[in-house]
Amino acid sequence: MSTFDAVPTALIVHAHPEPQSFSTAQMTTAAQALRDAGYRVDVIDLYSEGWAPVLDRAEFGPVEGHFKPQAEQRRAVGDGTLDAVVQDHLARLLAADLLVLSFPLWWFSVPAILKGWVDRVFVMGGVFGGDYGLFGDAALAGKRAMLLFTTGGPGESFRPGGALGSMDDFLFPIHRGMLEFVGYDVLAPVITYGPAHLADAERAAALEAVREAVARAAAEALPTDARPTDARPAEALPVAR
């Protein structure tokens, strides 16, 4: 369900345990940039909501015998018995034209709380499978998604041949395996490398770079006929440093 005929909606799913962190400041900056671009912004703050990340049989009521998580998800979607919080988050996900996953890079991936959000909310039968297919036939086809994150390591470590390896290599499981799998077109990620090492002025400049990058992504995520004339394509997006 697209809301572009009304006001475009962005859903930010944020996963950082510290309200004073750079990641949280980055998320707040991105939310304001989206509002300034005309979006209605919905935020799910996983830590402050106390999100339970573990997918297990308990959320499906009594399950006799062999527990098959995706079969249970599909059944629960069909008979309207999804866990109430999962149902609420799924409805907000389906209503959003743009999904932003906001997090610090932990072990070359998303924090467990965010991985568990995907486990529980990207339900079979609700976003793929069942009445939906995969990729271009999945429920979120035609919508956009982007990653907004911070790292501990410096940018040069993540270039091809760098000490930590190419960022593209370990974004692939998230971009392809999670986001494109359920139908999204994936926008260029917005990354701040090593914010812990920034002085105050550098931190302010980094947040300004985030604001500019998200503003461009916001324009790109709009339908072509609704974009401002200065909107640039994804490959021209700067990456916040």
Ligand X SMILES: Cc1cc2nc3c(=O)[nH]c(=O)nc-3n(C[C@H](O)[C@H](O)[C@H](O)COP(=O)(O)O)c2cc1C
Decide: is 209 part of the binding site for ligand X (CB under 6 A).
no
In sequence order, the 6+-apart residues with CB closer than 8 A to the CB of 102 are: 12, 13, 14, 15, 16, 23, 26, 27, 30, 148, 149
Residue from 82, 101, 104, 183 in contact with ligand X (CB under 6 A): 104
Q: Least distance in Å: CB of 91 to ligand X?
A: 29
| Listed ranges 18-26, 28-36, 61-69, 76-84: which one lies at the site for ligand X (CB under 6 A) | 18-26
- Does 236 contact ligand X by CB under 6 A? no
- Return the residues of window 186-205 that contact ligand X according to CB under 6 A: 195-196
Q: How far apart are the first and last CA of the chain?
A: 34
Count of residues near ligand X by CB under 6 A: 15
Chosen residue from 47, 108, 132, 181 binding ligand X by CB under 6 A:
108
Our finding on whether 165 is near ligand X (CB under 6 A) is no
Tell me how far, at minimum, the Cβ of 44 lies from ligand X, in Å: 18
**Residue 132 in the binding site for ligand X (CB under 6 A):** no
Main-chain dihedrals φ then ψ at residue 44, nearest 5 degrees: -105, 110
CB-side neighbour CA atoms (13 Å) of 53: 13
> Which of 15-23, 75-83, 124-132, 231-239 is the region at the interface with ligand X (rule: CB under 6 A)?
15-23
Residue 115 Cβ, how far from ligand X at the closest point, in Å? 12
Angle between helices 200-221 and 22-36 in degrees, nearest 10: 40
Contact window for ligand X (CB under 6 A) among 93-101, 106-114, 125-133, 204-212 = 106-114
Q: Which two tokens stand for residue 194?
A: 């090593």
Report whether 46 contacts 117 (CB < 8 A).
yes
Is 116 one of the binding residues for ligand X (CB under 6 A)? Answer: no
Token output for 82: 């999804």
**Dihedral sign of CA atoms 238, 99, 128, 114 in order:** positive
Two structure tokens written together for 215:
């503003």
Of 29-37, 66-74, 100-108, 178-186, the segment contacting ligand X by CB under 6 A is 100-108
Length of the chain: 241
Structure tokens at 166: 């190419």
Q: Is 107 in the site for ligand X (CB under 6 A)?
A: yes
Among 53, 69, 153, 162, binds ligand X (CB under 6 A): 153
Residue ranges that bind ligand X, judged by CB under 6 A: 16, 21-23, 104-108, 150-153, 195-196
